[in-house]
Amino acid sequence: MNEKQKVGVHSIRALPVAIPKLKGHFGGSETSAWLTAKALASLGNLDVSLLTRYQTRQPRQQVDGVEILTDWQPIEVVRESLSGVVELQPRFPWLKIGQFSPSLIWKIPVLAAVRQFFPNRSYELRENPFIQQFDFDAIFLFGANLVSAKAILSLKQKKTKTILLIRANAELNQRFANEDDFQNEYGERSEIVRYAISNASQIVVQTEHQQRLLLDHFHRESTVIPNPFDLKSWDQQLSNVEHPKLVAAENYVLWVGRSDRFHKRPLSLLEVAARCPDIQFVMVLNRGVQEVREEIEQIKTPNVTILDQVPFAQMPQLYKNSIAFAFTGSIEHEGFPNVLLQSAATSTPIVSLDFLPDLIHRSGGAILSGTTEKMAEDIRSLLVNKEKAEQLGRAGRAMIEQHIDMHQYAVLLEELTRDNE
């Protein structure tokens, strides 16, 4: 009897998705990583592990057939928690604090003391000792970034097949390929992105658009596999009435993202909300640029409610209770956003500012507005025309049922793990 292949799924912030009782920030990439691990484990012919990181020590544990291996690097966790809150400066007073929190009283002195004796080298392309402990036949990596590049470097001697899943169009920016000193808004550098893309054994993209960008800019072939979505689990959460109600308002428009000016673009959502003073808007605003977060707090209109760190298990109810999902992601930075799949699965109509993936656009379950003014009009029209809103919702749900198959997703990925070189 042949031994099962050992497969790793690497995502350093995915633990709160796998274990919802644990607090932490996560986004679409982390959600996809956990769904990928679960899908592969469900095939039954693979030993699947999720490699992640958390702020406290965690035991090895099995969740949904996936072994969870958690790295504990408290200093790195402190550094991450200060990202966007504390800005290092070259001159006295050395630090600029964006928003005070009681935890800064101990975090800043600890980080300063550690920095004196152990300089921050986390941004360098170095091997990852945690990953090197394990022997995998293949490992799935999420995004052309420093975390993935370190994993690829660490596993080169082990001959582990490294499968890189491109998450966003921004990773395939031509400047990464052509300019040695380019650095994007997230701090990713050309040398790091190029290393990950050039040295990965295989590459998976979400859309044909990404496939063309990858081939044109980096001359690498790829396999197109759309994002996964666990419709069965989502529906189970939708029927769960035990979760507390997070929003008092009825008939609200939902938005999910982080505070930035270029990718999720929450300030555009505020423009739309200001044009609809009689409609409630709920923003699930994850950690991002602190300066932008403060601006949002200052200029938001009274009809906007902000939520922080909503547990993944409670997200389906937020979608279910909304009248529409407002999407303001940019084509330059998005890929195939999970939030759109979640909205469609909940039969919630989508209203997008100026970008939709082809599959979502063709489904008939979304409106592409083009401007914030038209977006406000489109949202208002859904309140007036309930039949149109229901039609959009049904079309989105049908698209999920017909085109997003977790089992087929797992089968396609499993085929990539086989040694065909």
Q: Give the model confidence (pLDDT) of 137-155 as tens digits.
A: 999 999 999 999 999 999 9
Neighbours of 23 (CB within 10 A): 11
- 247 and 316 both lie in a single domain: yes
Place of tokens 């101990």: 106
Could you give the angle at which helices 104-117 and 74-82 cross, rounded to 10 degrees?
120
Please tell me the predicted confidence (pLDDT) of residue 277. 97
Q: Give the model confidence (pLDDT) of 330-363 as tens digits.
A: 988 888 889 999 999 999 999 999 999 888 999 9
Neighbours of 102 (CB within 10 A): 7
Neighbours of 165 (CB within 10 A): 27
Residue 110 lies in a domain: no
Please tell me the predicted confidence (pLDDT) of residue 146. 94
Residue 113 lies in a domain: no
- 208 and 342 both lie in a single domain: no
Cα 93 to chain center, whole Å? 34
- 204 and 321 both lie in a single domain: no
Residue 143 lies in a domain: yes
**Secondary structure of 20-56 in the HEC alphabet?**
CCCCCCCCHHHHHHHHHHHHHHHCCCEEEEEEEEECC
- 266 and 219 both lie in a single domain: no
Tell me: pLDDT of 368 over 70.
yes
Q: Give the model confidence (pLDDT) of 19-59 as tens digits.
A: 988 888 788 899 999 999 999 999 999 999 999 999 889 99
Please tell me the predicted confidence (pLDDT) of residue 62. 97
Read out DSSP for 159-170? TPEEEEE--BGG
- 143 and 261 both lie in a single domain: no
Strand partners, 138: 7, 161
Q: Could you give the 3-state DSSP secondary structure of residue 383?
A: helix
Neighbours of 306 (CB within 10 A): 16
At 90, the pLDDT band (50, 70, 90 cuts) reads very low
User: What CATH number should be reported for the domain holding residue 261?
Assistant: 3.40.50.2000
The DSSP H or E segment spanning 379 is: helix 372-384
Residue 81 lies in a domain: no
Angle at 71 between CA 66 and CA 72, to 5 degrees: 140
What length is written for the chain? 421
What's the domain range around 301? 231-403
Q: How many domains does the chain have?
A: 2
Confirm if 320 and 236 have CB atoms less than 8 A apart: no
Side-by-side strand order, sheet with 350-352 = 304-307, 280-286, 252-258, 322-327, 350-352, 366-368
- 275 and 332 both lie in a single domain: yes
Q: Could you give the 3-state DSSP secondary structure of residue 158?
A: coil
- 278 and 247 both lie in a single domain: yes
Residue 98 lies in a domain: no
Read out DSSP for 121-132? -TTS----HHHH
- 254 and 201 both lie in a single domain: no
Please tell me the predicted confidence (pLDDT) of residue 6. 97
